[in-house]
Amino acid sequence: MTQRFLSFSARTALILASGLTLWSCDPDNDNDASPAGSDVFIVQEGNFNRSNAEVVGFNSDAGAITNSALFRSVNNRILGDVAQSMTVVGNTGYIVVNNSNKIEVVNLPNFNSKAEISKFRNAAGNEDILTLPRYFAANNNKGYVSQTVKYGSTGRVSVIDLATNTVTKTVSVGVQPEQVVAVGNKLFVSNNGGNTISVINTRVDSVEATITVADSPASMVVDKNNALWVLCSGKSTYGPAPDYTPIVTVPSSIVRIDPNTNAVTATLRFAAGQQAGGLRTNGAKDQLFFRRQSGVYRMNITDTALPTTPLFQRRGGFYSLDVDPRTGLIYGSPENFTGTARFFRYQTTGQVIDSFTIGTSANSFVFYNR
């Protein structure tokens, strides 16, 4: 069976994720201290159908967890089932809860619930809901959320009025849309179930172009020159039970796009059998980071070839990777959905600084300027 993408939720149906044994000694800080002010929000995806998603508050200056169950402790209710992503817009946080088919809107920094976005009336006047939402972006007082809707079928992006937190329109895009990135008056949508990027004109909220890239476009970032970079995962087949070991049939690629013309200006292909993920940029937006196998790699946006030597590596690799734009510190969490997980902080040199216990694995780290 050939698949372009296999989410954790889908893999859970095949096999329980195994706990990872770390091969190095790490500085550790497990104290659940309470210094004032969280400036890093750690999104714990949780287990599929367990409704144990959560957001952990972390103070990067103090190097301490401020609250290990931020949403529940502030709002006296659970966040929901599978926290897919979180986006900060000013002093508001938008938490996309995938299997609960909703977005939780919270005030920052106190994390008080502000609204829940889920149900809406579609163009036909019928009641609809956000269906398997994935990622959120804001542009010109409007929000945009990608939705899988149904695996293997055409997905969509819903337009949200951020003043009222209501869905005003829904736009059909490609199969299994993932990340959404706004550049000027355009919204770029990575269609992970195919090989295209949908371009939505945010003035009229309709698709104005479709860009062909490589197989399974996923994470996207914008550099200092306003170029859009897309990491395309490639294709894999999966071996037999009980391990379902992935076998890469089409390697990953990193594609650069000019948002003004929608033209592909560069394609960097990984070697045969190589698969990468988690494309990120630093605060200056002149470097790119990604994870591949057990390593984290870094390259300049002017490089014409992919790096072959990791900045650092860790046995089992990382499920999540993010770079603090303020300090350049690198945050990562290995995959562990069956036991106690951790996250680690690294210097820009690749030297590990410290680690913290957080429950189940984090799928992202969101940085907030207090």
Check residue 224 and give its pLDDT.
99
Q: How confident is the model at residue 29 (pLDDT cuts 50, 70, 90)?
A: low
Weakest-pLDDT range from 39-43, 144-148, 244-248: 244-248
Check residue 337 and give its pLDDT.
85
Check residue 28 and give its pLDDT.
54
SS (H, E, C) the chain: CEECCCCHHHHHHHCCCCCCCCCCCCCCCCCCCCCCCCCEEEEECCCCCCCCCEEEEEECCCCEEEECCHHHHHHCCCCCCCEEEEEEECCEEEEEEHHHCEEEEEECCCCCEEEEECEEECCCCCEEECCCEEEEEEECCEEEEEECCCCCCEEEEEEEECCCCEEEEEEEEEECEEEEEEECCEEEEEECCCCEEEEEECCCCEEEEEEECCCCEEEEEECCCCCEEEEECCEEEECCCCCCCEEEEECCEEEEEECCCCEEEEEEECCCCCCEEEEEECCCCCEEEEEECCEEEEEECCCCCCCCCCCEECCCCCCEEEECCCCCCEEEECCCCCCCEEEEEECCCCCEEEEEEEECCEEEEEECCC
Q: How far is CA 24 from the centre of its chain?
A: 27
Check residue 27 and give its pLDDT.
54
Please tell me the pTM assigned to this model. Answer: 0.90
Q: Name the more confident of 361 and 270.
A: 270
Q: How confident is the model at residue 37 (pLDDT cuts 50, 70, 90)?
A: confident
Single-letter residue type at 351: Q
pLDDT at 112 over 90: yes
pLDDT at 245 over 90: no
Weakest-pLDDT range from 29-33, 40-44, 210-214, 327-331: 29-33
The per-residue pLDDT of the chain, averaged, comes to 91
Q: How confident is the model at residue 34 (pLDDT cuts 50, 70, 90)?
A: very low
Weakest-pLDDT range from 174-188, 193-207, 240-254, 273-287: 240-254
Residues 122 and 305: their CA atoms lie apart, in Å, by 46
What are residue 74's phi and psi, to 5 degrees? -85, -40
pLDDT over 90 for what percent of the chain? 84
Q: How confident is the model at residue 11 (pLDDT cuts 50, 70, 90)?
A: very low
Residues 319 and 152: their CA atoms lie apart, in Å, by 24
pLDDT at 2 over 90: no
How large is the average pLDDT for residues 32-52? 81
pLDDT in tens, 341-350: 999 999 999 9
How large is the average pLDDT for residues 253-260? 99
C-alpha to C-alpha distances, 247 to 131, 213, 235, nearest whole angstrom:
30, 22, 9
Check residue 53 and give its pLDDT.
96
pLDDT at 150 over 80: yes
Domains in the chain, start-ordered, CATH in brackets? 2-367 (2.130.10.10)
Residues 319 and 313: their CA atoms lie apart, in Å, by 13
